[in-house]
Amino acid sequence: MASTRICVVTGANKGIGYAIMKEMCQKFDGTVYLTARDEGRGNAAVAELRKLGYSPKFHQLDIDNIDSINTFAEYLKTTYGGLDVLVNNAGFAYKRAATEPFGEQAENTIRINYFGTLNVCHALFPLLRPHARVVHVSSCVGHLSYVKGNEPQASELRSKLASPTLTEEELNEMMNDFVRVAEEGTWEEEGWQSSTYSVSKVGVSALTRIQQRAFDEDSRPDLVVNNCHPGYVDTDMTSHQGPFTIEEGAVCPSYLALLPNDVEELRGAYLWSKKEVVDWVNGPTPGPY
Ligand code: NDP
């Protein structure tokens, strides 16, 4: 079985993920997989990258489909026997003008951004080789301070999320609880903010800390997971309102994907777009982007 080093980027057919692909194709010593939920869009992006002189590979991966995730995991396992870098970039956001009820938005956004990312981790983490690097693309609104519904409930949620003993099961339960109270119309009374996207990214950022604690106990040495806010970027997601180019948005995720062996500081950390390390619990965030 080939022992090539392998990097995987999710949601890489456009936007920040596509720019992360360019960085990784240039700098990663190994094979880089562009994954996308749609084969046509994924292959078109691969063709663009080939025109630029890069040699990425493609595999279908829909983070919202467990069969797709398991098929990809099995493919990596049988073809390479392992994985060295995973960039969880795929994400979804309703537009501000969306008219779907808040509960429905909560269900879809949490399912894709939080549970989809988690399911990818569950399937691919067993394949991680020593010194593997995992990056979750969170957001500025994934900072803990965005949990700011009614008090004192919001403080209670923040303390729970910030707890160094929070478990994945407890976090899953909190995400499911948010969806439930969003459907019931009581999310603010329960302490949550009025942005389903923000809650999903707070979940991803909290998950990072839990996963690094597990990695620290893992028999495979030097497994590292970090998460970042990529900046406010000119992509379809922001309706092209963000001032950053996709290349600027790729700076921090690709930096974290390429961290050298045995890094000491950046383990379970939250960074901002220009690689600033931000205290996820206490802030402050650098701003403006
Ligand atoms: P885009 O909307 O341009 O790209 C999102 C990518 O994710 C697309 O490739 C999309 O695929 C893919 N995707 C969506 N759902 C799924 C799914 N179920 N399975 C696999 N892939 C999926 O957004 P950005 O490039 O702006 O966003 C990339 C990441 O950065 C996201 O996680 C986003 O939340 C985050 N982010 C972005 C910011 C910004 O300012 N742009 C700011 C902060 C965070 P498809 O083309 O098929 O829809």
d(CA 268, CA 11): 22
Predicted local confidence at residue 289, as pLDDT: 79
Q: What ligand 1 atom has the least distance to the C-alpha of 14?
A: 9
Q: Which amino acid is at 131?
A: H
d(CA 142, CA 124): 23
pTM of the model: 0.98
Residue 79 alpha carbon to ligand 1 centre in Å: 27
Tens digits of pLDDT across the chain (289 residues) = 557 999 999 999 999 999 999 999 999 999 999 999 999 999 999 999 999 999 999 999 999 999 999 999 999 999 999 999 999 999 999 999 999 999 999 999 999 999 999 999 999 999 999 999 999 999 999 999 999 999 999 999 999 999 999 999 999 999 999 999 999 999 999 999 999 999 999 999 999 999 999 999 999 999 999 999 999 999 999 999 999 999 999 999 999 999 999 999 999 999 999 999 999 999 999 977 7
Kind plus residue range of the DSSP H or E element containing 162: helix 153-162
Contact by Cβ (8 Å): 223, 132: yes
Residue 269 alpha carbon to ligand 1 centre in Å: 21
- C-beta 168 within 6 A of ligand 1: no
Q: What ligand 1 atom has the least distance to the C-alpha of 13?
A: 9
User: Any idea what DSSP says for residue 178?
Assistant: H
Cis omega (within 30 of 0) for bond into 152:
yes
Predicted local confidence at residue 131, as pLDDT: 98
Residue 11 alpha carbon to ligand 1 centre in Å: 6
- Nearest CA to 186 among 156, 161, 153? 153
